[in-house]
Amino acid sequence: METVLRGAAVYAILLVIMRASGRRTIGQATPFDFVLMLIVAETSQQALLGNDFSITNAALLIATLTLLDVGLSYLKRWSPAADRLVDGTPTLLIRDGVIDARALRLSRTGLDDVMAAARKAHGIMDLAEVRHAILEADGGISVIPR
């Protein structure tokens, strides 16, 4: 029982923390973000396993985490509110050429990131050629050119 409860607790804590850390961490990991994820993974391992390094414990943990992930995916399909809470919603950073400075600031996204996405997707070199820029739920930036 303890194994299952540990797995569920750590999964929930990591979900909340990763969600709260913002989409920038997921979609555009910097070296620092990568280091942070490594440390979090290492810290979580001890909390998950405790002093039990048996195969049974590992198998039960993996089964618990897998089922939680599957269950969460079904919950998101069933409940739009849960989907918004867990995955977030896309955010317009630029609308019809007008920059939403507040959205950029609060999502910790810079115009450099928008232009990088514009160059990669459409070969755009000038911000004026960007009609819309959307910060997607997965942390990526979609650019709609004029």
Partner 1 sequence: MLQPAEMAAMEAGDVQMAGRAAGKDRAFQEWFWIAERCVWAVLALFVVAGMAGLTGSGGPFARGIAEAGGARIDYPATARWQTAETLTITLPAAAADAAVTLPASLLETFNVTEISPRPASVTVTEHGERYSFTRAADGGPVTLRFDMIARAPQFPAAPHRIEAGGAAGTVRIAVLP
CA-CA-CA-CA torsion sign (87, 61, 13, 33) = negative
Decide whether 52 or 100 has the Cβ nearer to partner 1. Answer: 52
Smallest gap from Cβ 58 to partner 1, in A, equals: 10
- Least Å from the CB of residue 55 to partner 1: 5
Within residues 35-64, the interface with partner 1 by CB under 8 A covers 51-57, 59-60, 63-64
Block residue for tokens 């928008």:
114
Is residue 73 part of the contact set for partner 1 (CB under 8 A)? no
Which structure tokens are listed for 76?
């998101």
Residue 113, amino acid: D
Cα dihedral 6/12/17/18 (nearest 10) = 110
Binding residues vs partner 1 (CB under 8 A): 1-5, 51-57, 59-60, 63-64, 66-67, 70
